[in-house]
Amino acid sequence: MEKSIVVKNITKKYKLYSNTKERILDLITPKDYGEDFYALTNVSFEAEKGDIIGFIGINGSGKSTLSNIIAGIVPETSGTVAVNGQAALIAVSAGLKADLSGRDNIELKLLMLGFNKEQIKNLEPSIIEFSELGKFIDQPVKSYSSGMKSRLGFAISVSVDPDILIIDEALSVGDKAFAEKSLEKMREFKQRGKTMIFVSHSIGQMKTFCEKILWLEFGKVKDFGSVEEVIPKYEKFLKQYKKMSKHEKDKYREEAQEKTTETL
Ligand SMILES: Nc1ncnc2c1ncn2[C@@H]1O[C@H](COP(=O)(O)OP(=O)(O)OP(=O)(O)O)[C@@H](O)[C@H]1O
């Protein structure tokens, strides 16, 4: 089987500063300021061409960070990511310029991807039609609702026909009809053997759409396997987690983070 994504020991460290002064001092002086925060620790997984993988995990577990790293939008701190082909990320407002109109955003994105003027002219009407933005297409993106931004992002990304499609929560905003239309498009991609990564809090969508699941917890891989194998374990965990008090949840997180620090 041909590999399409190989993620090896990815770690993403963010610096958390308590104020702007600390941030500036960290930049301009040799001394270390701020607190290290690991959004991802030693994450590894592989996707075969044509795999449809769902990323699951409670809030803040690192799903978006990993999606952004695979899409080449955010750099990893250490580790390696090999992507076979062109990856496109669809997330609410991902890569959209707020001051530009929807139409200018389409043109800019396509230009950046190497399309020529003629190709852009041919693609533009179908993107606008898919986005259902109507006359809003000439309004600045900053005036769009999150659903509208998501529709525009989705319409652009699917029309450029990427090899790897990463959809981060983009279907959870906006209306049901558009989500259904988008799922239809994704089914078409699935039939054409494209690799897809799907980030969603909807277990129902995961079950109907994905084949494999990567379960992240506080930046680490908790499990990776088939939907049938991983989803029941996650559902069981969620049931217990939801019953925890705030104090218990904080303790659970702290213990997990302590373990992470020990492994670094
Ligand atoms: N630019 C940043 N600077 C500092 N911390 C960050 C940054 N981006 C993300 N984080 C932190 O990294 C952790 C992982 O965030 P991420 O958005 O990847 O999680 P997620 O699983 O997608 O969460 P959600 O389900 O809430 O969307 C979070 O604790 C978040 O606060």
Atom of ligand 1 nearest to the CA of 67: 18
Digitized pLDDT (tens) for each residue of the chain, 264 residues in all: 789 999 999 999 998 888 888 888 888 888 888 888 899 999 999 999 989 999 999 988 999 999 999 988 899 999 999 999 888 777 765 678 999 999 999 999 888 878 899 999 999 999 999 899 999 999 999 999 888 888 898 888 888 888 898 888 766 666 778 878 888 888 888 888 889 999 988 888 888 889 999 999 999 999 999 999 999 999 999 999 999 989 998 888 888 877 766 666
User: Could you tell me the residue ranges of all domains in the chain?
Assistant: 3-86+162-263
Which residue pairs, CB below 8 angstroms and at least 24 apart, start in 186-195? 189/158, 189/165, 190/50, 190/52, 193/49, 193/50, 194/50, 194/162, 194/163, 194/164, 194/165, 195/4, 195/5, 195/47, 195/48, 195/49, 195/50, 195/51, 195/52, 195/53, 195/85, 195/163, 195/164, 195/165
Indicate if ligand 1 lies below 6 Å from the C-beta of 34: no
One CATH from 3.40.50.2020, 3.30.200.210, 3.90.700.10, 3.40.50.300 for 3-86+162-263? 3.40.50.300
Confirm if 236 and 229 have CB atoms less than 8 A apart: no
CA 39 to centroid of ligand 1, rounded, Å: 6
Beta-carbon-side half-sphere exposure of residue 221 (alpha carbons within 13 Å): 18
